[in-house]
Chain A
């Protein structure tokens, strides 16, 4: 198998200031999704870069989902659930928290910038917090630019 000796591509976000990141957000049904809903009905403005996927609980998130989202072209991933102690299923978010520690540190270790993966707690009454969170996540992802880790031109072995 040939070695990939292609030079690192120029980061396109520097060349293209209009670049907008695509962020996949996994929100728990009981808190964060309702928080996003509240942000909406309160007419709060936040960047339109997130694609929301509703899940029953942050404990439902398999690290595989996060890696899959990144592999399939997301520039960043956000997972948000109920605050510790407020889980609809009592302890789903506590179990999730342990998984996420390993996931976040491991992705950082292999070179997927920590700015791309975010874990947060947002309750159903925190519409404003949700809007601010999205703004912050988008800001962070913009700092590191488009994710090229799994892109074809970066992965091409021929």
Chain B
């Protein structure tokens, strides 16, 4: 039995036993390397569920949205959702539980052992920006095929960067149903020492601003990063707020940079580094470079890591009298 079949079996059982009303998982998307979230309410439809190394979306986003919709309806019985969960989804759900956006008892976590997801930007680059019609994974190899070409690449080399630094992707902070099947491929693990952040800090302020500007000069402000992020759930985003209107709606660079700075700042102490923003970006911008700085600071200054335990309060919702003061300006 494969992981995929195991997921279907668990989902079928949960639905037919009436444990959950809805299963949120991955279905085949319109592109060969893309998956799309599927919402299954009927046990006969579980065949739509798939599992492959392209399941990059973070489903925690949809779980929160579905529960919010359901709670709006009066006198409906509380909705219970089964979620096909890899480690980043679980971490995001932990953070949402902490922020009172989810109730632990509203979800049934179907824990899937993840072996790293493929980076679409890396796949495109390997295929020389030619159209990909087939992406197939076998063991430690990925076969990329299109019109008139078929190439084999090493799976280690096309994994997302955040998957490489993911430690122990098989142990989830929350789990109810466990998928026992395993992938025969084991992803490499790179100790995350934030060396890229430290390197960036060595540049001069002018150089750092030039890097930042050059990165987001190409941003088309489609808001895909915001919409794909499980932690971006404000009912009114500052970007669209009209009273007061904080920024213009065009791709004028000033507005783009302003939007990106504030969007990233909103992730302070919250980002689970699931890479959903980077995966959603149509311009393949290096969005993680900036959220990683916040994670680095959270770890370095507050010894805080996201997505570990659903019981603590969020980092910025609490304080300690002994918090750092080194950055405070003293008049003398």
The answer to whether A102 and B211 touch (CB under 8 A), given A68-B258, A94-B321, is no
Bound complex: CA of A32 vs CA of B208, how far in Å? 33
Q: CB distance A109 to B246 under 8 Å? A: no
Shortest CB distance B27–A (Å)? 34
Q: How many A-B residue pairs have CB under 8 A?
A: 135
* Residue of B with least CB distance to A93: B319
User: How many of chain A's residues have a CB under 8 angstroms from any CB in B?
Assistant: 50
Q: CB distance B209 to A97 under 8 Å? A: no
Q: CB distance B297 to A101 under 8 Å? A: yes
Which residues of B277-332 are within 8 A (CB) of A? 290, 293-294, 297-298, 301-302, 315-316, 319-321, 323-325, 327-332
Q: Which residue in B268, B320, B327 is a CB contact (below 8 Å) of A119?
A: B327
Which residues of B209-250 are within 8 A (CB) of A? 209-214, 217-218, 238, 246-247
Bound complex: CA of A106 vs CA of B254, how far in Å? 18
* Residue of B with least CB distance to A129: B331
Q: CB distance A109 to B201 under 8 Å? A: yes
A155 on the B face (CB < 8 A): yes
Q: CB distance A102 to B327 under 8 Å? A: no
Bound complex: CA of A155 vs CA of B261, how far in Å? 15
Q: CB distance B252 to A1 under 8 Å? A: no
B180 on the A face (CB < 8 A): no
Interface of B is mostly: helix
Bound complex: CA of A94 vs CA of B332, how far in Å? 23
A50 on the B face (CB < 8 A): no
User: How many of chain B's residues have a CB under 8 angstroms from any CB in A?
Assistant: 51
Residues of B within 8 A of A64 (CB): 238, 246, 262, 265
Bound complex: CA of A1 vs CA of B206, how far in Å? 22
The answer to whether A94 and B323 touch (CB under 8 A), given A106-B265, A111-B212, A149-B209, is yes
* Residue of A with least CB distance to B317: A95
Q: CB distance B217 to A3 under 8 Å? A: yes
Shortest CB distance B327–A (Å)? 5
Q: CB distance B268 to A99 under 8 Å? A: yes
- Chain B positions 67 through 105: 1 when the CB is less than 8 Å from some CB of chain A, otherwise 0: 000000000000000000000000000000000000000
Q: Which residue in A71, A97, A105 is a CB contact (below 8 Å) of B319?
A: A97
Q: CB distance B332 to A132 under 8 Å? A: yes
Bound complex: CA of A144 vs CA of B209, how far in Å? 14
Which residues of A95-117 are within 8 A (CB) of B? 95, 97-113
List the interface of chain B (C-beta within 8 A of A).
Answer: 197, 200-201, 205-214, 217-218, 238, 246-247, 251-254, 257-258, 261-262, 264-265, 268-269, 290, 293-294, 297-298, 301-302, 315-316, 319-321, 323-325, 327-332
What are 24 A-B pairs with beta-carbon distances under 8 A? A4-B253, A64-B238, A64-B246, A98-B269, A98-B319, A100-B327, A102-B269, A102-B298, A104-B327, A105-B293, A105-B297, A105-B327, A106-B261, A106-B265, A108-B205, A109-B293, A110-B212, A111-B212, A120-B330, A136-B332, A140-B329, A144-B205, A149-B209, A157-B252
List the interface of chain A (C-beta within 8 A of B).
Answer: 1, 3-4, 8, 63-64, 67-68, 71, 78, 84-85, 91, 94-95, 97-113, 118-121, 129, 132-133, 135-137, 140, 144, 149-150, 152, 155-157
